[in-house]
Structure 1
Amino acid sequence: MSVSAAKTIPTLAIADIADADVAAVIALWQACGLTRPWNDPAADIAFARRGPHSTVLIGRDRDAIVATAMVGHDGHRGWVYYVATDPDRRAKGYGRAIMNAAEDWLRATGIAKLQLMVRRDNAKAGAFYQSIGYAEAQTIVFAKWLDGREPTP
């Protein structure tokens, strides 16, 4: 494969998640190490699907779900979560393709800025986002569990 061919972004079939996709999407998120004990991924998917301001995008290569991004907005800024690519199919452009789809989804709703959070120990994810044009913001994220739980990492 030539160098220029290796840099092309694949054409994935990208669509909103359907009921039949939920289990496969959760399995992908688990394989990518994205789930945490304090977040129920099925509840996160259900919540994202409830209103017009968010969705879960899935990218298929043939019949396999190979990429996802949960995308939404608060009316001012767009956010993405659960950006995942199949660990066995990395470096094929699927991450870039699903992020392009998330950006397009936000543009279509009139949102001009996308933000995302990356755990400090996830250097590979940080490098990926920088490679597709994202810059590290100089902000501090504060968090509080509204049900009284202790802070989580």
Structure 2
Amino acid sequence: MTIDIRPFEVSDTEAVVSLWQATGLTRPWNNPYQDIHRKLSVQPELFLVAADDGVVVGSVMAGYDGHRGWLYYLASDPERRGEGIGRRLVEAAEERLLAMGCPKVQLMVRPEHGVAQGFYASLEYEPFDTWTTGKRLIAD
């Protein structure tokens, strides 16, 4: 397997959005194109893709706020599951966060994504009880 983990490029947009749709990461209330646009204006070096011979087969967004890092939009091509693509993307994001001085990383997984929960557990991510809340500041 010759998977290249590299920074996202604008030309990857359609492939990444298609990947997110295929893996169930998109929601009607989030515009994936707007999320990409926003990410490219804040820490774009933390938006990574996995490519196999130029074809996007995975993605991850990361962010660091000075206190903790976050992972978002981790996806790997459903036809390529089990090849280590997701693991490599998480490791690459963690390495970049660590280089920025990030002491810990967190993520959110929807309850219906049991497979994702097992994947993260295999990477030594531990669940913890918190009340997660949010507020939409602008409409997508």
Query: Which TM-score applies when normalising by structure 2?
Result: 0.92
Task: For residue 38 of structure 2, give the secondary structure of its aligned residue in structure 1.
Answer: helix
Give the corresponding residue for 1:137: 128
| Inter-CA distance 68–134: structure 2 relative to 1 (3 Å threshold) | same
Counterparts of 1:90 and 1:52, CA distance in 2: 28
The question of whether the paired residues in 2 share the 8 Å contact of 1:57 and 1:102 is answered with: yes
Q: Percent identity?
A: 43
How do residues 10-29 of structure 1 correspond to structure 2 at under 5 angstroms?
Answer: 12-29=3-20
Give the corresponding residue for 2:101: 110
Amino acid at match of 1:45: I
- 1:52 equivalent to 2:43? Answer yes
Query: Which TM-score applies when normalising by structure 1?
Result: 0.85
The question of whether the paired residues in 1 share the 8 Å contact of 2:7 and 2:45 is answered with: no
Amino acid at match of 1:79: W
Larger mean CA deviation between 46-55 and 27-36 belongs to 46-55
Structure 1 outlier segments of 4+, above 2 Å: 51-55, 144-148
Higher gyration radius (CA): 1
Deviation at 1:54, TM superposition (A): 6.1
- Residue 62 of structure 1, aligned match among 53, 74, 82: 53
Deviation at 1:53, TM superposition (A): 7.0
The runs of 5 or more residues in structure 2 that have no matched partner are: none
- Give the count of matched residue pairs: 139
| Inter-CA distance 23–53: structure 2 relative to 1 (3 Å threshold) | closer
The question of whether the paired residues in 2 share the 8 Å contact of 1:54 and 1:72 is answered with: no
Counterparts of 1:147 and 1:92, CA distance in 2: 38
Task: For residue 20 of structure 2, give the secondary structure of its aligned residue in structure 1.
Answer: helix
Task: For residue 144 of structure 1, give the secondary structure of its aligned residue in structure 2.
Answer: coil
The runs of 5 or more residues in structure 1 that have no matched partner are: 1-9, 149-153
